Chains A and B, each alone.
Chain A
Amino acid sequence: MAAVRAYALIGTGAVGVQVEAHVRPGLPGVSVVGLPGVAVREARERVRSGAASTGLPLPTQRITVNLSPADVKKEGPGFDLPVALAVLAASGYMGTGALQGVGAMGELALDGRVRPIHGMLSMAEAARDEGLRLLVVPLVGLAEACAVDGVHAVGVRDLREAVMLLRDAEKCDRFLERGRRWLRARKNVVTIDRGPDLADIAGQRHAKRALEVAAAGGHHLMMVGPPGAGKTMLARRLPSVLPLLDAGEALEVTRVWSVAGLHRAEAGLATQRPFRAPHNSASRAAIIGGGSPPRPGEASLAHRGVLFMDEFPEFGRDVIESLRQPLEEGLVVISRKAGSLTLPAAFTLVGAMNPCPCGNLMHPERVCRCTADMLDRYRGRLSGAVGDRIDLFIDVPPLELSAFESSGGLDDDSAVVRARVESARSYRLEREAFLGTPPPGSESGSTVGQSHPARLEARLGLSESARSLLREAISRHVVGGRGYVRALTVARTLADLDCVAGISAEHVAEALSLRDPGYEYRGASSAAVSW
């Protein structure tokens, strides 16, 4: 009998699985027991032909492979390599101690090549936590596995190499050295691509400023404008002004993307903040995640990045509602037969929409043909828990000629804006550290509404003139309770961008100009649709 460690994915995490192989006289064949998924049952065929083409034919005996614990569902082709190694060891191709403290992962091609699989990062982390002596991984996936500190990973091209290095400690060292060289060489060729840059956009300074504010304060953003105004183009550039992923965030992003099979294994860790733009016909499961085996949805794929929802009101009501949990808690919970699964989903939401379903509302020449009911339904998608969490609203007018007559030189590119965003964020942290721990659930983000207004204002450093302007806005019913808190938080972010302690009247006025102007459209619409 021989045994090796393998890993099964559960959400974005992995758990250890013991792969045992037993060879005994009987009808020749391989059977796999212990809750194997379809792909794992098929491993038999790939292992048999992979072994044969490597020149290590399986004995004509009865081979039983057991995967334990039996109650963990094992999915995907990643078990090919560990199953093959256990079988070969049980068949006498390796010494008894060869697999002691060894883990493995990888899919086998029919010719014995070892291919990368999904979720290698999470598996390598689990292997590290188990303190394995050696982790055998596909060579192309070495960068991803080695992103985990303290894991002893060795990369192999095919099954033959795996057997060779496990048989012979000296060979193992040579393969480890090859891996190190391989990683070093890779480092020099990988260029960090930051994605599209703000500098590509002519004009639209108002919208660019809103992106900067959204990035600095982690605010969600809604863009309202006619088709072709450049909303998609703007949203796509938000990741470029967010701070670069830090080491921990890079691990988080890579984990999700790798599990979803969207990460290029040879790329090591993710360097770019994700940008996801699901279509408005997407189902709830596509956004939140689910299925069997459960796959991360768009909300999780946008983790630490941007989730862009073009034509926001066209998304299903259930889809929009399902965003409530990620917006509140930065995660999604998928319930399944075998308990619920938590996936990370902390993203900045950027929505885009037309002023009305037909797009012509308030257009100087064109006529809007939407009924009041249609308008209400359209705008209604913005009310409720999810709409309430969108702090910033901007209008994106069609490109103007004047944008090309660049007044006052070129606008800032993404790197410059990002530097300001980073300084605003660190200013905010400094300020918060000075003020001490806020009462539970205050100030930052969505839970701000739970602080007493006077307390909140004092904490955020509202100046007298700013206060009276805000009071004026309340008394003129321009903002209500929630709008007040939103305006205050946005104004605080504007002050952070200026690195000043006090919120001035200018900050409040600008924050007010970034609020949802919906009511005015509605007021105007009754005239427009009076026919």
Chain B
Amino acid sequence: MVNAPGSATTRTYAMGRQADRPTSPGSLEAALGLALVAAEGTRGVLGLLRRHSPEEVWAAGRRDLLEWTEGRPWVDRFIDLRSRTFPREASSAVAAAGLVFIPWGSAGYEADLLALDLPPAGLFVKATPDAFDQFSVGARVAVVGTRKASDYGLRVARAIGRAFAERGVWVVSGLALGIDGRAHRGCLEAGGRSAAVLGCGADVIYPRRHRELYERVSSEGVILSELPPGVRPAPWSFPERNRLLAAISHAVVVVEAPRRSGALITAHRALDLGREVFAVPGRVQESVNEGSNRLLYDGATMCLDPASLVEDFLRFTRKETSPFLSGVRDHGSADSGESGLEQAGRLAVMALSAGPCSVDAVAGVAGITSREASAALGLLELRGQVVRVSPGTYGLSER
């Protein structure tokens, strides 16, 4: 079965955003084709996306390619792979894997990705449209660190995840064991939203020990990768993933990173992009802290404690207004029993049991404000428990 181009794959994502960069079916296919070919080994071709659109690259002749790349050796290999790649068929495989492809230049494609040496041809995303929309407008921080973390590191990572979650900041990490996983968990525990950037296909669960975490992040948050579905992790894919992690986040927090670690690569890529880098101080003479302490020595901002880290993040990234986004979470609705609204509704019903009256009269009898009364009556009317018996006068419904 062959899908109509882009039908399942673009779905509702990215609608209405950045209308000046429309995505035609042709450019969607070209971007998908490039993503597939790049994953086969000619990643260099992505460098062309800084100057050319996927459509141009996908259609380019050998002469142009040689000229644009100043005669890179992979050009012929690319042409060969290109002739054997059929993006239209692949697009149904993407949909079958439960993924959505966000192509280069479409509205969901973060403009900062174009600042990378090798901009991805697109992102494969596993998320609800809703979550992805919120992700793309939200404040996002990467929290990264070593897989072989100390107890202290794990504790701090979790606290940091929670602290960001409480301010509505998306916690982005790599779903790895150790610090990554703990940061995701801390965030989710606090009711926040988390995103994972993978070094394998977005449908591939790696490490397997994080299956349950993967499920939670994909159902409540966003999982993304530039690699096509089914691609297994490879040693080269993690550094590449790290650059994506840096580009998609507004700042990077490093918790416990040895010298020569993925977390440090993420931090340096973030610095290249002009992002703020934060680091959690660790004990000296312990190899697990060598990289992160070095960052501090070189001028990264120190995490004094999780709360002030969040404040600094909001200030530095000028996301200080991010409470604008934190409202997507509810405060004490589920566990605190009756909500204020329901309570007002109950009082309003009691007030109306004496006979129909106006909003203001309901407020007076129930001892609530007029606006609480109108909210309560709005709810009760919606549920059919009260009706308007005459203009401005509510009464209990007969039913």
Contact = CB atoms under 8 A, between A and B. Distances in A.
Interface of A: 203-206, 209, 224-226, 229, 355, 361-364, 394-397, 400, 402-403, 407, 430-431, 433-435, 439-440, 442, 450-452, 454-455, 457-459, 461-465, 469, 472-473, 476, 478, 495, 500-507, 509-514, 517, 520-521
Given A439-B17, A452-B12, A472-B382, A397 B393 contact: yes
B327 A503 contact: yes
Interface string B338-378: 01110000000000000000111101100001111111111
Given A458-B130, A461-B324, 7 more contacts: A209-B370, A400-B358, A402-B361, A454-B12, A461-B328, A464-B329, A520-B388
B329 A506 contact: no
A458 B378 CA distance: 23
Nearest to A464: B330
B356 to A, nearest CB: 8
Nearest to B129: A454
11 contacts: A206-B392, A225-B391, A439-B17, A455-B133, A463-B330, A465-B333, A472-B383, A501-B325, A505-B339, A509-B378, A513-B378
Given A452-B12, A463-B327, A513 B377 contact: yes
Nearest to A212: B371
Contact of A517 (B323, B328, B388): B388
Interface residues of B, number: 55
Contacts of A503: 327
A407 B325 CA distance: 37
Contacts of B319: 434
A465 B330 contact: yes
Contacts of B360: 203-206, 400, 402-403
A520 B387 contact: yes
Contacts of A451: 16
B374 A442 contact: no
Contacts of B377: 513
Interface in B307-345: 319, 321-330, 333, 339-341
B328 A463 contact: yes
A205 B370 CA distance: 6
Contacts of A454: 12, 129-130, 133
B379 interface: yes
A407 B130 CA distance: 44
Contact of B328 (A209, A458, A469): A458
Given A205-B370, A461-B328, A364 B333 contact: no
Contacts of A511: 378
B330 to A, nearest CB: 5
Interface of B: 12, 15-19, 129-130, 133-134, 137, 168, 319, 321-330, 333, 339-341, 358-361, 363-364, 369-379, 381-384, 387-393
Contacts of A464: 328-330, 333
A495 B328 CA distance: 12
A501 B384 CA distance: 30
A478 B382 contact: yes
A465 B339 contact: yes
A461 B341 CA distance: 19
Contacts of A462: 328
Nearest to A470: B382
A452 B333 CA distance: 27
Contacts of A395: 358, 388, 391-393
A461 B325 contact: yes
A433 B359 CA distance: 36
Contacts of B327: 461, 463, 495, 500-504
Nearest to B319: A434
A183 to B, nearest CB: 43
A428 B341 CA distance: 24
Contacts of B364: 402, 407
Nearest to A461: B327
B15 A431 contact: no
Given A400-B361, A509-B379, A511-B378, A363 B339 contact: no
Contacts of A440: 19
B382 A512 contact: yes
Contacts of B134: 458
